[in-house]
Structure 1
Amino acid sequence: MSRVSDVYLIAHVEDDVGEAVVTGALEAAGVLGKGPGQIKQHHLLCCSTLDGKVPIVRQLEPELHVDGHSGSIDELKRFLPHLLLVREGHTSAASGQTNVGIAASLASYFGL
C-alpha cells in the first residue's frame, strides 16, 4: 500500500518512552524506513489520547482512514470520504453509512 499511496500511521502512546518503543518495533519489523514499500519515519504520528487522533486525521485529510476504534470513526464520518472500521470477527460490510465500511482485517477488505 505504501508503494502507491502516502501512508501515515497514528499510534496511541502515553509518553515519549511509548513513542520510542513503537518506533523501535516498527523499525525492527521493517515497516519504517527509507526503502521501497517502507513508511517514512516522519509519517508515524503519535498522540496521547484517542480524542487527539481525530484532529490529526482531519488535518491530514486522507482519502481513506482505517481505524479499530468505533468512536473515532463516528467522529470522522462527517468529514472524510471513506472510513474503514477494522474489527476482528466481522465480515466485510457496509455500516449503514455510505462512507463507512467494516472489515475483519485490511487483507479481507482489499481481497488479499
Structure 2
Amino acid sequence: MADNAKEDFLQLIKRAGAFLTVKISNLLRHLDSRSFGAIAGLALAIVFTWRFLRTPRGPQRRQSKRQTPSGSSSGVSRASVNDVSSEVSNPPEDSRTQNVVDEFFQPVKPSLSQIVRQRLSEGRKVTCRLLGVILEESSPEELQKQATVRSSVLEVLLELTKFCDLYLMERVLDDESEKKVLIALEDAGFFTSGGLVKDKVLFCSTENGRASFVRQLEPDWHIDSNPEIITQLARFIKYQLHISPDKLERPASNVFTATSLEQFFGSV
C-alpha cells in the first residue's frame, strides 16, 4: 500500500509540473520586456505551490480493528461504508492541484503602453486631426469661440506621444483659432510631457491642405474623422483609423473604425 501511495504522489507531481509548464509558456507569449518583472513573482508562486504539494498531510487516526466473528457480516459492511465515505469526502488530487495553480496564474491585464504598441503594429509615426478626435468641437466655426480638449483622450494621447512621432493638424479659419487650440493643448499638459512640441501642431485653411500634410509626412498611421479624407488617403497610407459613430460602408482593408480614440485602444 505504501508503494502505491508513493507512486500516486509521483504521478501527481508530474501532472502538476506539466500543467505549470503549459501555464508559463502561454503567459510568456503575452509578455513584453516591461512585464518580465512579474516573472519573479510567478517564480515565487511556483515555489509556494511546490511547497504546498510537498507538505505532508496531518496524521491520520488509526482505526482500531474490531475483531468480529468470522460468521458476522455486519463488521465487514461497516468497514466498507467507512472506506467509501472517506473516498467521497476527499476531493480528487488532480482537481485540487489545478485549483491551486489556477489561483497563482490569473491572466495579467496588459498595460496601456502595451496595448498602444500592439494596436499600432510597431508604427512609429502618427498623424492625427484635432476636431472630433482630440477636441470636443467638431467644426472650424466652433474653434473661433473655444477649443476644449476631451478629458477621456488625455491618457491615450500622452501614451502616443511617448511611443510615437506624433503630429496633430487641423483646418482653421483664423489665427485666433490657432491660438485657442495651442492654449488648450498646453493647459492639458501635452507640451510638458516631452513627447509633443508646438512645431508638430500644424494648421491649414482647407481639407485638402490637411491631406497634403499627411502625404508629405508619410506616417505609418493617420487618424481622422472625415470619411472623405480617409478614403482619399487609403492607397497612400499604410494604416488609417476612422473616428466616427458611423462605420464606412466599404472601408479599405487598411482602414479601421472606432467611435473614439480611447475606445480603439481599449481604455474605456
Q: TM-score, normalised by structure 2?
A: 0.38
1:84 aligns with 2:241: yes
1:15 aligns with 2:204: no
| Cα deviation, residue 79, structure 1 | 0.3
Matched letter for residue 85 of structure 1? H
Q: Distance in 1 between matches of 2:226 and 2:251?
A: 17
Q: Distance in 1 between matches of 2:212 and 2:223?
A: 15
**In the alignment, which of 188, 193, 204 is matched to residue 35 of structure 1?**
193
| Cα deviation, residue 94, structure 1 | 9.7
Q: 1:108 maps to what in 2?
A: 263
CA displacement 1:7-58 (0-9 Å, x = unmatched): 1100221121211111111111212x1434x411111001111111111000
Inter-CA distance 111–84: structure 2 relative to 1 (3 Å threshold): same
- Which ranges of structure 2 fall in alignment gaps of 5 or more residues? 1-159
Inter-CA distance 83–57: structure 2 relative to 1 (3 Å threshold): same
What SS does structure 1 have at the residue aligned with 2:236? coil
Q: 2:38 maps to what in 1?
A: none
CA displacement 1:57-96 (0-9 Å, x = unmatched): 0011010000010011011001000001001x357x9954
What SS does structure 2 have at the residue aligned with 1:22? helix
Q: 1:66 maps to what in 2?
A: 223
- Which ranges of structure 1 fall in alignment gaps of 5 or more residues? none
Matched letter for residue 257 of structure 2? I
What SS does structure 1 have at the residue aligned with 2:262? helix
Inter-CA distance 63–95: structure 2 relative to 1 (3 Å threshold): farther
**In the alignment, which of 254, 257, 262 is matched to residue 99 of structure 1?**
254
Which has the larger share of helix?
2
Moved over 4 A (4+): none
Q: Distance in 2 between matches of 1:47 and 1:76?
A: 17
Matched letter for residue 173 of structure 2? E
Matched letter for residue 101 of structure 1? F
Q: Which structure ranks higher in relative contact order (CA pairs < 8 Å, sequence separation ≥ 6)?
A: 1
